[in-house]
Amino acid sequence: MQWGSASEFFAMGGYGLYVWTSFLATALCMLWEVLALWRRRVAARAEQRAALLGGMDETAT
């Protein structure tokens, strides 16, 4: 373990800005991708359900 304290860890030997920007950007991109896929799935299934109901509408009338 090379870190004496938490602030030393976050400073990253003076390169904190570069290191944490990289890791944060990667994490945000991944989280965004997962969230976007989640929403895409919800939307697709809502449409699917609407189509199912709409189809039944037609048969009923």
Partner 1 sequence: MNWSKYSAPQAFYPLAGRLIPWFAVVAVALMGVGLYMGFFVAPTDFQQGESYRIIFVHVPAAWMSMFLYVVMAIWAGVGMGLNARLSFMMAQAIAPTGAMFTFLALLTGAMWGKPTWGAWWVWDARLTSELILLFQYAGVMLLRTSIDDMRRADRSSAVFSLVGVVNVPIIYFSVQWWNTLHQGASVSMSTGSKMAATMLMAMLIMTVAFWFYSIAVILARVRCIVVERDSLPVWDEKPAVIQEAVEAR
Query: CA 20 to CA 11: how far, in whole Å?
Result: 9
**How many positions of this chain bind partner 1 (CB under 8 A)?**
34
Ranges within 13-32 binding partner 1 (CB under 8 A): 13-15, 18-19, 21-23, 25-26, 29-30
Q: How far is CA 27 from its chain centroid? A: 9
Instruction: Write out the residues near partner 1 by the rule CB under 8 A.
Output: 1-3, 9, 12-15, 18-19, 21-23, 25-26, 29-30, 33-34, 37, 40-41, 44-45, 47-49, 51-53, 55-57, 60
